[in-house]
Amino acid sequence: MKEKVKSWVLALLVFGSLVESYYLIYRLPGSDSAVMSENLYVKTDNMGPEEKVENLLYPDKMIIHMGESKHTLFYPNTTFYNLILNRLKGRSFESFQRRSVQDFDWDKIRNENPGIELSFGAGIPVTLLQRVMQLSPDSLFEGESIDRIWIYNMKNDSKAHAVFFSTRGDIVYEAAKADLTVQDVQQHVDFGNNLTNYKAVNGDYYVPVAKVSMVEVEMPSGMYTIQQMQSNLFFDAGSTRYIPEKDGSEIYTDSKRSLQVDQEQNWMSYSDPAALPAGDSTPAKDALEAVDFVNEHGGWNGTYRLAATEEGRQERKVSFQQFYGSSPYGSYPIISQPKLQYGVINLELQQGTVSSYERSLLFVEEDKAVKRIVDLSFGERLEGQLAQISQASAVKDLTPVYVPAVKGEKLQLIPVWRVTLMDGTVLTLN
């Protein structure tokens, strides 16, 4: 009998020891970790899911050149855009040859040769582009950023041509080996038949000759709380102190990091000037670091696209543009307004470490959206508006976008034309 009691006592002691070891290693929820780095943040109250960088890399538009000066445009989340992009992702491009942009007659290629032009806005580093396309770059090409890819056929030529444009503006890289046939390119171009025609203006932008339809939307909106942001951004949210500013904004700081909230614009600016620099920085690495940072400190409250990786004097700025929409009408960027910053996430990095993080605190309930179809101006009327605007500075780009507006407890997304001028001015046309 005594032996049985001893066995049970021993078993209980072993079980108790195992339980104690478990809690010592993993700790109870809410308790401190046994070892906690100062740069490790508490991850709570996410604003959206995490995202892979591959899902943030895609063209802002496709320009389909059909020959005989005929063109059409495809935008993200339209049937033919998705089909062409998925096909191109499966094709390989090799043996890149560096050439001057002046070696090509782009006006002739644009108006006479069937082709597909992919626009990447401010550009994507080649090392990131490799994540979504099968590229085999040499060391020279690998260090570039690409803002356009132009794939086209030439008369009496049995192979397709693929040209990658450097953001430097004077250099292109032509793939001597492209896993595309002339028939492949022509098939993609034929998708543009019987769709809205666009008129090329000076080779810079395209004006539709018929109406372009978009979805105007109104959605219930709310605002993430300051407590949620503090939990996301500070190691110990309870140690922060509050500092009111004369302009009405609020600052929360733990003496090292600061969170500034503009209640009127529903906008937050977080800075960490004491962040230890990693010392290794490239446009691609900084973009990846920025994606990881957003994943860990809020997440993605919608569909975003890598918009820019701009280098400053001592820092690199990385921006992500929010898109809204769905098939068949397409997705378009949401652009901030002077009185309402919304639709963009901005980060600054110093030597590979995030030192600044900005985004809107607004959220919307997309499942409760009220939608209606609207048409943008087109043809001679639109050309007349652009001609008047261009008297001050030439038009560089014309793109359909959404302008956000707050209406009570709802957010409106209003379709407009965004006009970008050569001097950098950005205007909107209803």
> What is the DSSP annotation of 250-309?
EEEE-SS-EEEEETTTTEEEEE-TTPPP-S---HHHHHHHHHHHHHHTT--SSEEEEEEE
pLDDT greater at residue 42 or residue 402 = 402
Q: What is the pLDDT of residues 69-85, one digit of tens each?
A: 999 999 999 999 999 99
pLDDT exceeds cutoff 90 at 140: yes
pLDDT at site 28: 33
pLDDT at site 314: 78
pLDDT category of residue 220 using cuts at 50, 70 and 90? very high
Q: Which one-letter DSSP state was computed for residue 68?
A: T
Mean pLDDT (whole number) for 90-94: 96
Mean pLDDT (whole number) for 92-119: 97
User: What is the value of pTM for the model shown?
Assistant: 0.86
Q: What is the pLDDT of residues 145-200, one digit of tens each?
A: 999 999 999 999 999 999 999 999 999 999 999 999 999 999 999 999 999 999 99
The DSSP code sequence of 12-61 is HHHHHHHHHHHHHHH--TTSPPSS--TTPPP--S-SS----GGGG---SE
Peptide bond into 328 cis (omega under 30): yes
pLDDT at site 21: 42
Burial class (CB within 10 angstroms; exposed 0-12, middle 13-18, buried 19+) of 374? middle
pLDDT at site 279: 65
d(CA 315, CA 348): 6
Side chain identity, residue 96? F
In the chain, % of residues over pLDDT 70? 86
Residue 212: name the closest of 397, 64, 421, 416 by CA. 416
Over the chain, what is the mean pLDDT? 87
pLDDT at site 24: 35
Q: What is the pLDDT of residues 255-311, one digit of tens each?
A: 788 999 998 889 999 999 866 666 678 999 999 999 999 999 999 999 999 999 988
User: Contact, 429 vs 385, CB < 8 A?
Assistant: yes
d(CA 81, CA 421): 26
pLDDT exceeds cutoff 60 at 41: no
d(CA 82, CA 425): 31
The token pair at 342 is 């919304």
pLDDT at site 37: 31
pLDDT greater at residue 65 or residue 38 = 65
β-partners of residue 252 are 242, 259
Q: What is the pLDDT of residues 2-15, one digit of tens each?
A: 555 455 545 555 45
Q: What is the pLDDT of residues 316-347, one digit of tens each?
A: 999 999 999 988 899 999 999 888 999 999 99
The token pair at 207 is 């004006």
Residues 6 or more apart from 91 whose CB is under 8 A from it? Answer: 134, 178, 179, 180, 184
pLDDT exceeds cutoff 70 at 100: yes
